[in-house]
Amino acid sequence: MGIQVQSLSKRYGRTWAVRDLSFEVQPGRVTGFLGPNGAGKSTTMRSIVGLDRPTTGAALIDGAPYARLRAPLREVGTLLDARAAHRSRRAVDHLRTVAATHGFPAKRVDEVIGLTGLESAARVKAGKFSLGMGQRLGIAVALLGDPHTLILDEPVNGLDPEGVTWIRGLLSALAAEGRTVFLSSHLLSELALVVDHVVVIGRGRLIADAPLMTLTSDAGRTLEEAYIALTRDAVEYRAGDADGARS
């Protein structure tokens, strides 16, 4: 059960975005996926759900590759591009279309609108959504099929403080129900309040795969401090590193 990433490598042209990466994401807890810009987090997540084809290696969700899942949206909910909804379509219509396409009951649309706090925005066109509303709509789509696994790429981005508190509660509740919850984020202090386990990558390779406690309180440091120490040598795009900035 859970997600298994097995010796995954992905090359784009001459760039290795992910290099021989292996780790497991266990059900029943929230796992944070961390790493500097360009580390390969999104590539890994897209590879897990078959949006990217690994150069070598594989990924399994509850024991099967995503492509073999019989009802993917019932098994895996994803947020990989928060702007996926058609701009001229109202949020509620977008959800109804996805629900109808996948045979989910119409009442599930109302349920996910409630779960994501989109009641007042449901009749607004997606193109008029703020970043945070778009995130909530993306999460609503991910939840439509009541999936056992959630793969969310930077879901906290753009949420206001109330939204951040809301999503922490949502993710904890989903994990407490025994689901697999895997999310990437750069918001480390927010993340530290919700994750049980942390996977850190840098330059496409695994740097750490450990319980939050082992990285933080046991070592007497915050998640930010742990992260900076772990990724010091793996940062590809450091502020001020550009040639122009140095002169």
Ligand X SMILES: Nc1ncnc2c1ncn2[C@@H]1O[C@H](COP(=O)(O)OP(=O)(O)OP(=O)(O)O)[C@@H](O)[C@H]1O
- Distinct helix (H) and strand (E) counts, the chain: 10, 9
Residue type at position 101: T
Choose which of 7, 12, 177, 193 interacts with ligand X (CB under 6 A): 12
Query: In this chain, which stretch among 10-18, 95-103, 160-168, 227-235 interacts with ligand X, using CB under 6 A?
Result: 10-18
Q: Which two tokens stand for residue 212?
A: 């939050």
List of residues 6+ apart from 35 with CB closer than 8 A: 41, 184, 200, 201, 202, 207, 231, 234
Q: Which of residues 23-62 bind ligand X (CB under 6 A)?
A: 35, 37-43
* CB 153 to Mg ion: min, Å: 6
Q: Which is nearer to Mg ion, 43 or 216 (CB)?
A: 43
Three-state SS at 243: helix
The reply on whether position 15 binds ligand X by CB under 6 A is: yes
Per rule CB under 6 A, count of chain residues that contact ligand X: 11
Q: How far is the CB of 1 from ligand X (least distance, A)?
A: 25
Q: Rounded CA gap, 145 and 112, in Å? A: 10
Q: Does 42 bind Mg ion (CB under 5 A)?
A: yes
- Residue with Cβ nearer Mg ion (80 or 133): 80
Q: What x/- string results for residues 195 through 214 when contact with ligand X is judged by CB under 6 A?
A: --------------------
Q: What angle do CA 238, 5, 42 make, to 5 degrees?
A: 35
Asked if 199 contacts 209 with a C-beta cutoff of 8 angstroms, the reply is yes
Which candidate, 44, 16, 20, places its Cα nearest to that of 31? Answer: 44
Residue 17 binds ligand X, judged by CB under 6 A: yes
If contact means CB under 5 to 8 A according to the sort of partner, which of ligand X, Mg ion, none does residue 37 touch?
ligand X
Contact 224, 32 (CB under 8 A): no
Q: Rule CB under 5 A: is residue 44 a binding residue for Mg ion?
A: no
The site for ligand X (CB under 6 A) is made up of 12, 15, 17, 35, 37-43
The site for Mg ion (CB under 5 A) is made up of 41-42
